[in-house]
Amino acid sequence: MSQDKISTPEELYDAMDALTVRTKQGGLGQAWVGLLFETIDRMLRMEPSLGNRGLKDKDRVNQRGNYRVTAKSHGNLVYSGKKMAVEIQDMSAQGFGVHSRSSLPLQANCMLEVVSGYGGKDLYSCFVQNCRHDEGRYRVGLKIFDMQPYF
């Protein structure tokens, strides 16, 4: 990225995409990737409006969509970048219940990018609370932390 400052959600997503591509090409070591995602996570905690545009639209509950999950455990990147088709089973101020084809390690810190059918994006800092195998799919419980109550 050529910019010195990330000031909009779109710039943040572009930076995360560029980071993912660079990592897959072998341009960044795992230690740097962990450090960068930690920085992004802290930035979102200090500036919640950067990642959240407000969650007043209750139509997103139980909708199918594309979600990008980036998880790290103990500073190591364990899952990155790829968009997964998942279904939100329940949504509250505390967390999400999602179904996916892949599992995530318990207690891993995650960044969950929610792309709504209306073209909006929201980014949540959360951690994996539970992960259960259910008929060929995984039911992953994500607990959100430091999120402003929009509900």
Q: Indicate if the pLDDT at residue 1 is higher than 50.
A: no
Identify whether the C-beta of residue 145 lies closer than 8 Å to the C-beta of residue 125: yes
pLDDT, tens digit (0-9, with 9 covering 90-100), for 46-62: 555 555 444 443 333 33
How would DSSP label each residue in 22-54?
HHHTT-S-HHHHHHHHHHHHHHHHH-HHHH---
pTM above 0.85, yes or no: no
Closest by CA to 97, choosing from 49, 134, 42, 53, is 134
All structural domains of the chain with their residue ranges: 1-151
pLDDT beyond 70 at 129 = yes
The string of pLDDT tens digits covering residues 4-45 is: 566 666 677 677 777 767 766 766 666 666 667 666 666 666
Output DSSP code: residue 11: H
pLDDT per residue as tens digits for the range 114-126:
655 455 556 666 7
The helix-helix angle for 9-24 and 30-46 (nearest 10°) equals 170
Tell me the fold of 1-151: Thrombin, subunit H (2.40.10)
